[in-house]
Structure 1
Amino acid sequence: MTRRTDELRRRFNMLNGRKKAGEDRLQPTMRNTLRKLSRPTNKNCPTADRWLDLKLNLTHSCAMNNKVLEAAVHLTENITPYCQLNATVPILRLFLDRESDLRPYLRLTRQSIVNLIAALPYEVDHGWSKDIEVVMFLFWLAHAASYRVVASAFGIPKSTVHRVVHKVSRAVLALLKSMVCLPQGEELEEVGAGFARLAGSPAFHVAVGAIDGCHIRIKPPAVNAACYFNRKLFHSVQLQAVCDHRGKFLDICVGFPGSVHDARTLKNSAIYSRQLYPPEGRCILGDGGYPCLTSPITIMTPYREPVASPVEARYNRHHSRARCVIERAFGMLKTRWRSIFFKALEVSPEFTPIVITCFATGDIIDAEMDDDDDDVNEDNSEAREVVCGDTLRNRLAAAVSVPDIYVPALVEHDHV
């Protein structure tokens, strides 16, 4: 009996970080341990209260009893240390299994997640590892789940989920300028060739981007709710983006109320007001909601229906083939990151970095956002000449209609 008691006491002391402990110190240690471990989760539970009172009222002699020591050892052994992985959580078990497919749960392949983790600049010296924080963030972003649901899925506190989501989003946001950027030099030639392939006509090699907007659903704010009510009959904020021929986003602008027209959003964005893109001799493709311009930036839009000639109809078909890449890019973004696009968000500056994170994350995987009011203010102090692009569009339409191969007999003769 004495040998059994000594063994239990040794295990209890070892689990509590003690190598040696006298009988005079064992009783307070056990009382404190039982006090913490036996605190009932439901304060209105009389059974738990009676059990706790029973343990805390033990005398010094009862504390040496084998049953009490066994209970203390059992309770202490079942403590989960801080930030220790719980391998029984399904999502973590899948992540730790190197052969499992993560796409149904995190919307990304395993290699894409590894690329994202490697690209993040911050290091973790305590708490959860960077891998777990990124997985937690992607799970929240992909499932449009509340912090409570994510906390339940990972077996961690809700406050930790909130802290991790904002921490990782800030880290991804720090990479925005290097990830979402405008092409330069030889990259422009590659983008132009890509749009020519999409359009099915070499005339579209001058196109170096496609522009469009979409609506991010929000909850009606308490002030000026009518300004956020869009033509699709729900409250939203505007999101404008420019992408290349692969669907990679080159520029983004978010924050205008949903009732604002696409053309006004464009005119107040940095890419228009600062004439950032496209360069001279190039153009970007837009739908009928945008004006056809050559200055301050060049935007080519389709002819209005009904068209006046087969040349215009042919141009519209090729234009649509090339421009629809931006719609596909938005479609993939909405499907992948449901947390932003499939649930209503509060109109708050805190959610804006999360929206930008979606774009930066996608570009990290596949390899300007106005955070303040300065980028959205209309500045008319310096008037810019707006030049209609109808003439350029007519030349582009004529170039589209030119056959790629001439009949040799026609080439050999001069025609008056």
Structure 2
Amino acid sequence: MEIVEDDESEVRVLCESRKNVADIVLLAMEILEDDESDDEFDAELEAAFALAACKLLRADRNRVSGYFQNVTSRYFDFEFKKLFRLSRETCDLVCERFRRSSSYPKAVSGRRQISAEETILIALSYIGNRSSMNSVADRFDVTESSVVLCLRRVLDFLMDISDEVIAWPDDAELARSKTRFLSKSGGKGPRNTVGCIDGSHVEIAKPKDSTASYINRKKWPSIILQGICNDQNKFLDVFIGFPGSAHDARVLKESPFFAEATSKCGDDYILGDSAYPLLPWLSTPYRDNGSSFTSWKKKFDKYHSQQRVAIENTFGLVKQRFRRLYLIDAKSILQCCKIVMGACVLHNLCNAERDFMAELADNPHIDDVGNNDEDIGITSPACSESRRQMIAHHQC
């Protein structure tokens, strides 16, 4: 059963609190005007006066009464999508799944029950933008603790469905992906591409523990989002949370996908940049070593890049849609990882509904942050080089 707040009682309490603050202000002014008052006491009183004034202002600060009930429904569709980063239709689907999930309480005691729809919009306001918790709380006329609670519930829900939403495709979809990847390079180049892999750095607030390991080579703290996508910019696999100082290849080696790659890819392969080792299931470009960088190697790299750009575009799309990923100021690394995972799940849900952002250009996202000079002890088998040469000579 929903417990609805008593609006009249809430207004009465607010008025009483404002009256108390006003009384304190008047008393402070009278004492400060007294010639016999003590200087030290006056200083303390001025501080109290400032605090009281802040409380008085806080009560009126940008709060929008009835924002969810009366305002959000009046937005034009393009306004709704610009604010919450999802179309109404996609948002409705997410709300319905959330309402049926164990993450949404069917009843609460001692406080107003925030509906599933409002909970989702509160979370989207935070994940999709760079607004502070205060700003989100003010917009929805709720407390900051309510925003924290709503965000936690939605992130838990998105984590619960992540294995379903971000999953390796079946054989039929892999076959379609190979055809579409090949079309990206004009019918030339790698013919068995089923995905592309790369790492993207997500800036975070400087952590209290192991700070140095999170500082990337650009000298700012980050965690790494390793993503594998298909030709349609859908995530097939994500691995999140390695410190920003880590090498892309090391992140891959430590990820669950590394142990599963042979069975998942079979005779096919994913594409990665030169930060990764050349493996039977991972094709990388040739390195430009001067005179040995022949014309056929250049052609191979050109077609390889035309297909591989899919992962750079995918990172760009998810970061531009969910702007919180430009800087996550959460207090714990775990919370940062949950926010990134939540954004990736939402990205795939939008992708499935063909819910695209009109203002997001299909430009590659290249953060150029990777630390790619570490030897992680992965040896490229000779068969991998032979296969790459065969592709370069006969398919380019």
Whether TM exceeds 0.5 here: the answer is yes
The answer to whether the Cα contact below 8 Å between 1:115 and 1:365 also exists between their aligned partners in 2 is no
41-50 or 321-330, which deviates more = 41-50
Q: Residues 145, 35 of structure 1: CA spacing in aligned structure 2 closer, same or farther, 3 A cutoff?
A: closer
Residue type at the aligned position of 1:399: H
Identity value in percent: 24
2:296 alignment partner in structure 1:
311
1:113 alignment partner in structure 2:
91
| Structure 1 segment 75-86 matched on structure 2, within 5 A | 86=65
User: Is 2:393 aligned against 1:398?
Assistant: yes
1:46 alignment partner in structure 2:
23
Q: Residues 194, 42 of structure 1: CA spacing in aligned structure 2 closer, same or farther, 3 A cutoff?
A: farther
CA displacement at 1:221 relative to structure 2: 2.4
Q: Secondary structure at the match of 1:193?
A: helix
Residue type at the aligned position of 1:39: E
Aligned-residue RMSD, C-alpha: 3.0
Residue type at the aligned position of 2:286: Y
User: Is 2:173 aligned against 1:173?
Assistant: no
CA displacement at 1:33 relative to structure 2: 10
User: Is 2:125 aligned against 1:125?
Assistant: no
2:192 alignment partner in structure 1:
206
2:82 alignment partner in structure 1:
104
345-354 or 105-114, which deviates more = 345-354
Structure 1: distance between partners of 2:19 and 2:220: 42
**TM-score, with normalisation over the residues of structure 2?**
0.73
Structure 2: distance between partners of 1:34 and 1:183: 55
Structure 1: distance between partners of 2:197 and 2:65: 45
User: Is 2:138 aligned against 1:152?
Assistant: yes
The answer to whether the Cα contact below 8 Å between 1:207 and 1:284 also exists between their aligned partners in 2 is yes
The one-character-per-residue Cα deviations of 1:354-391 (angstroms, maximum 9, x if unpaired) are: 21111111112221xxxxxxxxxxxx9xx998524211
Structure 2: distance between partners of 1:143 and 1:34: 31
Q: Residues 230, 238 of structure 1: CA spacing in aligned structure 2 closer, same or farther, 3 A cutoff?
A: same
Q: Residues 198, 278 of structure 1: CA spacing in aligned structure 2 closer, same or farther, 3 A cutoff?
A: farther
Residue type at the aligned position of 1:97: R
Q: Whose radius of gyration is greater, 1 or 2?
A: 1
> Quick one: which of 325, 338, 343 aligns to 1:353?
338
Residue type at the aligned position of 1:125: K
Q: Residues 95, 47 of structure 1: CA spacing in aligned structure 2 closer, same or farther, 3 A cutoff?
A: same
User: Is 2:169 aligned against 1:189?
Assistant: no
Residue type at the aligned position of 2:97: A
Answer 1 or 2: higher relative contact order, Cα 8 Å, separation at least 6: 2
Q: Residues 223, 129 of structure 1: CA spacing in aligned structure 2 closer, same or farther, 3 A cutoff?
A: closer
The answer to whether the Cα contact below 8 Å between 2:180 and 2:231 also exists between their aligned partners in 1 is yes
Residue type at the aligned position of 1:41: R
The one-character-per-residue Cα deviations of 1:213-262 (angstroms, maximum 9, x if unpaired) are: 01111222233222111112211111111000001001011111111111
Q: Secondary structure at the match of 2:265?
A: coil
> Quick one: which of 306, 311, 317 aligns to 1:332?
317
Q: Residues 266, 47 of structure 1: CA spacing in aligned structure 2 closer, same or farther, 3 A cutoff?
A: closer
| Structure 1 segment 24-63 matched on structure 2, within 5 A | 36=13, 38-41=15-18, 43-46=20-23
The answer to whether the Cα contact below 8 Å between 2:205 and 2:328 also exists between their aligned partners in 1 is no
The answer to whether the Cα contact below 8 Å between 2:207 and 2:333 also exists between their aligned partners in 1 is no
Q: Residues 134, 37 of structure 1: CA spacing in aligned structure 2 closer, same or farther, 3 A cutoff?
A: closer
The answer to whether the Cα contact below 8 Å between 2:287 and 2:293 also exists between their aligned partners in 1 is no
Q: Which runs of 5+ in 2 are unaligned?
A: 1-5, 28-63, 108-112, 353-375
The answer to whether the Cα contact below 8 Å between 2:241 and 2:333 also exists between their aligned partners in 1 is no
Name the one with the larger helix percent: 2
Structure 2: distance between partners of 1:201 and 1:214: 28
The one-character-per-residue Cα deviations of 1:156-215 (angstroms, maximum 9, x if unpaired) are: 111111111101111121111110000122111011111111122255330100000011
Residue type at the aligned position of 2:394: A
Structure 1: distance between partners of 2:274 and 2:164: 31
CA displacement at 1:125 relative to structure 2: 3.5
283-292 or 226-235, which deviates more = 226-235
Structure 1: distance between partners of 2:65 and 2:303: 55
Q: Which runs of 5+ in 1 are unaligned?
A: 1-15, 17-29, 51-84, 368-379, 402-416
> Quick one: which of 263, 283, 286 aligns to 2:249?
263
The answer to whether the Cα contact below 8 Å between 1:192 and 1:204 also exists between their aligned partners in 2 is no
CA displacement at 1:324 relative to structure 2: 0.4
The one-character-per-residue Cα deviations of 1:13-69 (angstroms, maximum 9, x if unpaired) are: xxx9xxxxxxxxxxxxx9x9997464223644218999xxxxxxxxxxxxxxxxxxx
The answer to whether the Cα contact below 8 Å between 1:172 and 1:360 also exists between their aligned partners in 2 is yes
Q: Residues 131, 152 of structure 1: CA spacing in aligned structure 2 closer, same or farther, 3 A cutoff?
A: same
Q: Residues 312, 96 of structure 1: CA spacing in aligned structure 2 closer, same or farther, 3 A cutoff?
A: same
User: Is 2:337 aligned against 1:342?
Assistant: no
CA displacement at 1:104 relative to structure 2: 1.7
Structure 2: distance between partners of 1:100 and 1:357: 23
Structure 2: distance between partners of 1:104 and 1:356: 21
